[in-house]
Structures are given as structure tokens and as C-alpha cells.
Amino acid sequence: MAVASAPSAPPPPPPGAVRLATVNVRSVCDRWMQRRPLLRARLAELDADVLAMQEVLTGSYGQDRALLQVGAHDLRTHGQERSRETAKADSGEVGRAKSESSDHGELDEVRARTAGRGSDSVTGYQTVLGCRAALHALRAEKRWYWVIIAGPYGLVQLIGSAVMRPLPAAIEILRERLAAGSGRMCGRLLAELLLPLRQIVFLPWYGNSIAVRGAELVPDGSSLEPLASAGQRIAEDGEVDGPAVVRPVVGTHDLLSIGHMRSAHRVLCVVPDDRVARTEKRAHDRSPGVSNVAGRGVERPQQDASASAGTSHPRRMWVVNCHLHHDSDAPEVRVRQLQSVLDWLDAAEHEQPSDATVLMGDLNASPDEPALALLRDAGFWSAHAAANNGHEPKATYPSGIEAPLTDQDPPATIDYIFVRGAARCVGAHVVLTRPDDDDPTLFASDHFGIMADIEMRTPDL
């Protein structure tokens, strides 16, 4: 099987391509203190325009923005009123986090503060969109222990997230030391007995995150068409500074509970005009107009002649980050979960039509599972397969990391980037495949990641 991997640093993206990447970061498990600098370095190497992370501790914990080395920032939480003092305690920065359009409090939006001509984020990400999926799932699924653990008067609220913040890593380190200590069977049993406690202290922050290179974009009314420099940074003197970047649209970040303590979240991004290729349609392109997805009837934005004539025409791209149910013996659950995501996404596209849609993440499904067939029937195609003669990776999990509590599972391909719409994949790789230079048993995560370079297409008329 031909598999494209990146044994060294990933190649630079082709000019004009949008680089996408998805990584399950394994929260603070599996030798976290040792692999944290390695994971941080590997994420920086990806140089992705849009990065999806699963199993990350987001919100006030800030594992996502710490990995991306986002410096001074403002943290805003949807769906709950918080005082300036609370926001300051949670994020470490002065800022106000107010209730916005969402009706729940599990969506977090982090804006990197710009200093001079660019973001103070070392990796350049100016927007980090997190969802505390576990809390949201507890609430949406009406689990009885929601009230006890995370409800308005639950343990999390009474103790306070600021007090609990040191506990996830500390408890996991204790569990690993017990499992690795003398009397291995006894130690592993004690580690398993501590698992429920670990789950409780993970709850306030456990979820997924989408990092986007550019700052949030406020559309002019309901139209994004006039935004000629949609993704360009503007210097203090008003001049364009630096290359055009992909930017998320304000008010489009949303979260969906899909059952079994899992959630998906989405955001609409704008790809600036000079990142759009104008060539004839090829394989995997999707023409504007009504989608070719049978029975779904999703309206795509219509192409106008001004685009091919050189007039600015930024492209819209919905990005969905998913983490599906993990039980290998329950493929029907993943089918139901993806069907819910597709219905939810179709509703969003009716309200905010896009030129292309990206669905990526840890889908916990092998390439031949019915869940992925459902995606293909809905018009999606795998970026890795498109760029590698129809082949998926040999495996994206497990990576080979050795840790006292590492899951012992057979190799499987379960991480993907799927695309539909006016786009073409010009390259895709398996990433995070290199172990630490000094320790061949230490990898950045227990998963490899997937990286894809996508050309947004505007067919000549």
C-alpha cells in the first residue's frame, strides 16, 4: 500500500493552498510532562491554516493555546455571564467574557492580542475555538450525575475550576506511577480505581478545539463577498502586512452533542481571494449551485462571472471537528452520530452557504465502516486517499508511544480529513510520526495526525 508519511518535518504548503490538520492530542495522559514539548514542536512544524484537536483540555485550562504558544489573549465564554474578576482568574488576562448568541456555556473563543504587525502567538494562531464537549454532552444527554458533578450547584461549580486546574495532570501522573511501580498488577489495579476521579477532574475542560490562523472576521451585514482582503493582516499604518490568512467568521462557532459523551463543533471560515485557484474543474471538484448529494438539497453559493474576471471573491469553508464513539464493536453508533452531524451541517449551510466543507477528526472508524460510507454518500471524499492513489494510511493509531497506561489496541486507521465542495487536494501526509530524538519510545501523541493541502477552486466560466 502506498502511504505518504512525513519522516522529517512536513513539507511546506504549495503556494495558495489551505493547509488543514487534525490531531488527537491525548489530553494530559501518557507521559504528558515528557511529551508536552515534543507535541508543541510538532504542532508548530505543521504550519496549518486550520488545526483541529481532539481530547484537549480547553477553556480556562488552556491546554490548546499553551500547545500553540498563544501569548496574551482574551477568553470569551458563550452562554454564561461572568464577571471581569472571574474571566481574569480563568484566563490569566484582563478581559470580559459575556453571554453571546449560544444558549449553552461550553463554547470558548480565545483571541490572541496583536502586538505591532502580527500576532504574539509563536505559531501565529490568532483564534482558538474550544468546546468543552464532555460538559455539553452531560447536559444534553441529561445524565443523572450532571447535577451532582457539573450542574449549577455541582462539585465543579462549588469547588471552582481554578482550584481544580492542577488536578488533571497530577492525578494522571499518580496513576502512571502506580501502574509502573513495584507490584505491577496491584499498581495497575490502584490506577484503575483512580480512573473515575480522573474523569471527574477532566470534566470542566475536556473536549475539542479548532485553531485558525487569522483573527475573527465580522462580516459587512450578511454578505462576505465585498471582503477583498478578508484574510490579510493590517499593519498600524493601515497597509496590508503579511500574506493573506484564513479567518473564522464571528457568530458561526457552534456545538452539537452526538451521544455517548461525544460532541462535534463547527465554524465558518473565509479563504481570501488570493488563496483561490482558478482553473478548470478536475476530479474531486464540486460545481457551484445545487449539491450533487442525493436527497439532501443543500444550496451552494452561485458563482458569478466577476470571480473569473479577476474581481475579489473570497471563498467560504465550513470546518467541522468531530470525535466519534470509540467502541470498535458499535459501528451503528458512529453511523447515527455522523448522520446527526450531517443534518446539523446541512442546516448551517442553508443559513450560511459555503463553497466547500471540511469534516475532520478522530472518527474511530476504519475505512470500510458504514459511517464513512455515509460520508461518501453525502458527497465527501478523503483528502489522504485523493492525494495517494485512493489509499488511506496503513494506520494512524497507536503511534508506538510506550507509557504505563497506554491503551493496547491493534493498529488502525481512524483519523481523517474529509472534504466536499469546490476544492481539490494537492497533497496529504501522515504527521507526528517521528519519535523524540533521544527517546524512540516517546511520540507526540498516541495518534498520528493527518495533514492535507487543499486548493479552493473557482472553475473558469
pLDDT in the model for residue 300: 42
Q: At what angle do helices 195-202 and 184-193 cross, to 10 degrees?
A: 40
The distance from CA 173 to its chain's CA centroid, rounded to whole angstroms, is: 26
State percent of the chain over pLDDT 90.
Answer: 52
Residue 232, phi-psi category: left (phi > 0), alpha (psi -120 to 50), beta (remainder): beta
Q: What is the pTM of this model?
A: 0.83
pLDDT in the model for residue 314: 83
Most confident of 34-38, 159-163, 305-309: 34-38
**pLDDT digits over 398-418, tens only?**
999 999 999 889 999 999 999
Q: Which residues contact 351 (CB under 8 A, 6 or more apart)?
A: none
Most confident of 218-227, 251-260, 442-451: 442-451
Quickly state the pLDDT bin for 186 (edges 50, 70, 90). Answer: confident
Tell me which of 120-129, 137-146, 199-208, 291-300 is least confident.
291-300
Q: Is 444 exposed, middle or buried (0-12, 13-18, 19+ CB in 10 A)?
A: buried
Q: Which residues contact 359 (CB under 8 A, 6 or more apart)?
A: 320, 322, 341, 345, 375, 380, 417, 418, 419
Angle at 109 between CA 82 and CA 396, to 5 degrees: 135
State percent of the chain over pLDDT 70.
Answer: 69
Asked if the model's pLDDT at residue 229 lies above 90, the reply is no
**pLDDT digits over 136-184, tens only?**
777 776 665 555 555 554 565 556 566 778 899 999 999 999 998 866 6
Q: Are 25 and 53 in contact, with CB atoms under 8 Å apart?
A: yes
**pLDDT digits over 74-119, tens only?**
677 764 333 333 233 333 332 222 323 333 467 887 777 653 334 4
**pLDDT digits over 252-270, tens only?**
999 999 988 899 999 999 9
**pLDDT digits over 8-25, tens only?**
678 888 888 999 999 999
The whole-angstrom separation of Cα 225 and Cα 220 is 9
DSSP at 10: P
pLDDT in the model for residue 276: 80
Q: Are 254 and 265 in contact, with CB atoms under 8 Å apart?
A: yes
The whole-angstrom separation of Cα 21 and Cα 161 is 30
The whole-angstrom separation of Cα 89 and Cα 91 is 6
Number of helices (H), then strands (E), belonging to the chain: the values are: 14, 20
Distances (CA, A) of 66 to 51, 110, 291, 316: 14, 12, 39, 28
* Mean pLDDT score of the chain: 78
The whole-angstrom separation of Cα 322 and Cα 320 is 6
